[in-house]
Every structure is written in structure tokens, then in C-alpha cells.
Amino acid sequence: MSTLLTEITELVSEHEAALCRYACSVLHDADQARDVIQETFMKYLKYRETHEAPEHTRAWLYKVTYNQSIDYIRKRKTRQSAENVIRESFDEASESAPDQKLEKQDAESKAWDSLQNLSENEQKIVYLKVHQDKSYQEISDEMGISVSHVGNLLHRTMKKLSEQMSEKLA
């Protein structure tokens, strides 16, 4: 068995389950998540045919998995990951008064608009922190950036969202 084949086999056995859960959390579809993981490992194989192994292989796999997931979402022309962040940020009041429901829908719509104005990295960091409750270290590993950069980016992004929401709700 070639060393590259051995390497791929070891990576699949070590990371496949976690990557599949990650992709499924973004896509909310287990079949599509499995497709994304298969594509991720195929991209890794193609990458390795011409390059040395990435310095941070795990981070590389998560980044490709995320990008592949976003491509699937774009193909479906939905933004489920961002939409889920917005929906979970509001309490689901099943028996609210009609005017409260309208206010809530208006706030959700404005929050959704604000989220759409963010870059992909900003949306991703909000998703990882708010929806998945990841630590700065976990976000750092998945995005391939330093922990301090995670903190700075998250702070700036949340401040940006807060300002946009304040303007829209005023």
C-alpha cells in the first residue's frame, strides 16, 4: 500500500466522524454532509499529489469541509447556517400576542439582513461561537487562524452586528 494511500486511510479513520458531524451541523442534512466529506477527502488527495501535507492537516480538513458545505448551501440557494443562528438567537414564544409576533418577526428580519451584510468569515465565526458554542481554540483550529485573531474578529463582528441592529431597530 502506498504511503499516500496509507495517509488518506489514517486521516479518514481519524477525522471522518467529526468532520461529518461538523458538515451536518452546517447543512442539516446527513446525506449532503457525507457527500461533502467525500469531496473533502478527494480534494485532500488531489492536493497531496502535488504538495506536501499541510502543516495543520486537521484545520485544513475543517476549512475545506466548511467551504464545501457553503458551496452546497449556495447551490440550494439557501443560507441555512446563518438563518439558524438568527432563529436560535430569539426565544420561540408559541403563544405570543399578535403584535409581539409582528415585532419579533420584524426583529428577526432585521437581524437576518444584518447577518447577510457580514463577510463569509464573519458569518462563520458567529455561527461557530453562537450556534455551536465553540471555544476560541476550537474556532482557531477550524478556521486556521490564531486564538487572538479569533477574539479580535469575533469582537469586531459582534460590535458591527450590534451597530447594524441598533440602526435598523431605531
61 contacts: CB under 8 Å, gap ≥ 6 = 11, 15, 19, 40, 44
Q: What is the mean pLDDT of each run of 10 residues along the chain (170 residues)?
A: 80 92 88 91 88 88 92 64 51 51 64 76 82 83 87 83 69
> What pLDDT shows up at residue 79?
42
59 residue type, one letter: A
> What pLDDT shows up at residue 116?
75
Distance CA(53)–CA(113), nearest Å, equals: 40
Residues 58-94: b if buried by 16+ CB within 10 A, e if exposed? bbbbbbbbbebbbebbeeeeebbbbbbbbeeeeeeee
> What pLDDT shows up at residue 119?
86
What pTM was estimated for this model as a whole? 0.47
Residue 146's alpha-carbon distances to 2, 79, 95, in angstroms, are 34, 27, 44
> What pLDDT shows up at residue 63?
93
Helix (H) or strand (E) holding 135: none
Q: Which long-range contacts (CB under 8 A, 24 or more apart) does 103-110 make?
A: 107/169, 110/165, 110/168, 110/169
Residue 126's alpha-carbon distances to 3, 32, 89, 144, in angstroms, are 38, 22, 11, 16
> What pLDDT shows up at residue 15?
93
Distance CA(170)–CA(15), nearest Å, equals: 46
> What pLDDT shows up at residue 86?
52
What are the residue ranges of helices labelled H in 28-146? 30-50, 57-76, 80-88, 98-116, 120-126, 136-143
> What pLDDT shows up at residue 159?
80
Distance CA(2)–CA(126), nearest Å, equals: 41
> What pLDDT shows up at residue 134?
81
> What pLDDT shows up at residue 169?
59
> What pLDDT shows up at residue 84?
55
Distance CA(47)–CA(29), nearest Å, equals: 27
> What pLDDT shows up at residue 130?
77
Domains belonging to the chain, first-starting first, are: 1-78 (1.10.1740), 79-170 (1.10.10.10)
